[in-house]
Amino acid sequence: MSILAKAATYLDMPRRLVGLADTSAAGATSRTDGTDQVERRGFLAGAAAVATAPALASLSGRQRHAESGQAATLRVATTAFRRMDGATSSRQLSEVVLAHLRLIHSVAADAEDEAQRVRLAAVGSEAASLAGWLSWDMGDAGSARTWYGSAIKAAKRSGNNLLASYQIGSLAQMEADTGNAAQALALVHTARRHLGSDAIAIADSWLGTVEALAHAAAGDERSCDRALVRSREGVARISAEEPPPWPWVFTFNESKVAASRLACGARLGLPSWVFETDDETALVAAASHPKQRAILQLDLATGHLVNGRLEAGYLLATRAVETGLRYRSGRVVERARVFRRAYSSKTPPRVVRDFDERLHGAYL
């Protein structure tokens, strides 16, 4: 908390944005390097201001009162890192998140009562899940599974079934994305058991898209379609006015289901699913997360390839690779390699050779 106070003073920003009371902080240092100071202020103050309000707004009044101390402050920091992931390289963010995790563990070890340790277990679960996602994005599946496993164990210790379901579903999503259909489906069923029969709409709908992706990985078109229908029905029950409930940070809506159907269509080799919307390009462009947009571009490119539109597919895939290299996303680059293996020719056209040149030497 002393470090947060000094950082807030250094950045000339209200201390409430980092979860502290608005009192003066002693011992903060100052710098005369104007350019560096402006860059740091724009980066850190912007992240804190954008992330804090949605994180606190998503908590109910009872939760805000119960978590007004260290747990709430640490949770806000985790939310800020999750929101920064869309515009930051996972390799840059990973070190910060791991340090944040060490801080949470240290605070939990010093907790005086069981109730506080339970709250901190939930916070630690969310931070471990973020570390898992960053590892997955970097192409390190082994570390990702380790962190997701830690997130699931911590969620169970917290006694929060919704959080446990979310973490199990997150691991299922990774397994489905990497083609481990049987394991992904087993994890989805476990996640639903934690939710129970009265699952909130956003949880039920989101798990429906994860289940659909797992069925697509198994090549089961009919089960995949049923899961997507269930997910779409769940979206209709989500209130558009309310912020997403914790642990969700981003909203889940009809466009997310449509994007999931596009992804499933690409894996099943069904162009009719990929090009089902009136403007699938706009659907991809609407994705707020650049790395996720790149994945959708590769799914759309696969649809073009199946339809025989080689040039359109590879132009899209090349743009996705550019994004993957810019953010050093191993997940995007590896998906691009999978896309490339789907086409073979002794004399590939220029657009394919350009794509190969971009992939050559990409060591992520």
Residue 51 has a pLDDT of 43
> Helices 90-109 & 114-137, crossing angle to 10 degrees?
160
Number of domains in the chain: 3
Does residue 345 form part of some domain?
A: yes
The alpha-carbon radius of gyration of the chain (Å, integer) is 22
Residue partners of 340: CB distance under 8 A and separation at least 6: 317, 355, 356, 359
Q: Which of 134, 159, 184 is the last residue of a domain?
A: 159
Q: Which of 97, 129, 159 is the last residue of a domain?
A: 159
pLDDT digits (tens, 9 = 90+) for 163-221: 999 999 999 999 999 999 999 999 999 999 998 877 899 999 999 999 999 999 999 99
**Phi, psi of 269, rounded to the nearest 5 degrees:** 70, 40
**DSSP, residue by residue, 303-316:** HHHHTT-HHHHHHH
pLDDT bucket at 12, cuts 50 / 70 / 90 = low
Does residue 240 form part of some domain?
A: yes
Predicted confidence (pLDDT) at residue 82 exceeds the cutoff of 50 = yes
- Domain of 172 in residue numbering reads as 164-268
Does residue 328 form part of some domain?
A: yes
Q: Which of 135, 159, 183 is the last residue of a domain?
A: 159
Does residue 20 form part of some domain?
A: yes
pLDDT digits (tens, 9 = 90+) for 174-187: 999 999 999 999 99
Same domain? For 182 and 136 the reply is: no
Q: Distance (Å, rounded) from C-alpha 142 to C-alpha 6?
A: 37
Please name the residue that has the structure tokens 């980066």.
Answer: 43
CB atoms within 10 A of CB 4: 17
Amino acid letter, 141: A
Does residue 312 form part of some domain?
A: yes
Same domain? For 243 and 256 the reply is: yes
Same domain? For 154 and 174 the reply is: no
Residue partners of 160: CB distance under 8 A and separation at least 6: 122
Same domain? For 175 and 309 the reply is: no
Same domain? For 2 and 142 the reply is: yes
pLDDT bucket at 278, cuts 50 / 70 / 90 = low
Same domain? For 43 and 105 the reply is: yes
C-alpha torsion sign, points 266, 272, 277, 280: positive
| Pick from 60, 178, 45, 71: nearest CA to 127 | 71
Q: Distance (Å, rounded) from C-alpha 169 to C-alpha 183?
A: 11
Does residue 277 form part of some domain?
A: no
Same domain? For 155 and 169 the reply is: no
Same domain? For 129 and 10 the reply is: yes
| Tokens coding 16 | 């409430």
Residue 22 has a pLDDT of 62
Does residue 30 form part of some domain?
A: yes
Same domain? For 34 and 129 the reply is: yes
**Phi, psi of 282, rounded to the nearest 5 degrees:** -65, -35
pLDDT bucket at 23, cuts 50 / 70 / 90 = low
Q: With the CA atoms of 94, 131, 170 and 342 taken in that order, what torsion angle do they form, in degrees rounded to the nearest 10?
A: 40
Predicted confidence (pLDDT) at residue 26 exceeds the cutoff of 50 = no
User: Stretch 338-347: mean pLDDT, rounded?
Assistant: 92
Same domain? For 260 and 118 the reply is: no
Does residue 274 form part of some domain?
A: no
pLDDT digits (tens, 9 = 90+) for 94-141: 999 999 999 999 999 988 889 999 999 999 999 999 999 999 999 999
What is the reported pTM?
0.80
Same domain? For 237 and 334 the reply is: no
Same domain? For 170 and 151 the reply is: no
Q: Distance (Å, rounded) from C-alpha 51 to C-alpha 184?
A: 31
Alpha helices, H only, the chain: 2-10, 34-40, 46-57, 61-66, 70-84, 90-109, 114-137, 141-158, 161-177, 181-195, 201-217, 221-235, 254-268, 271-274, 280-285, 290-306, 310-326, 330-341, 350-359
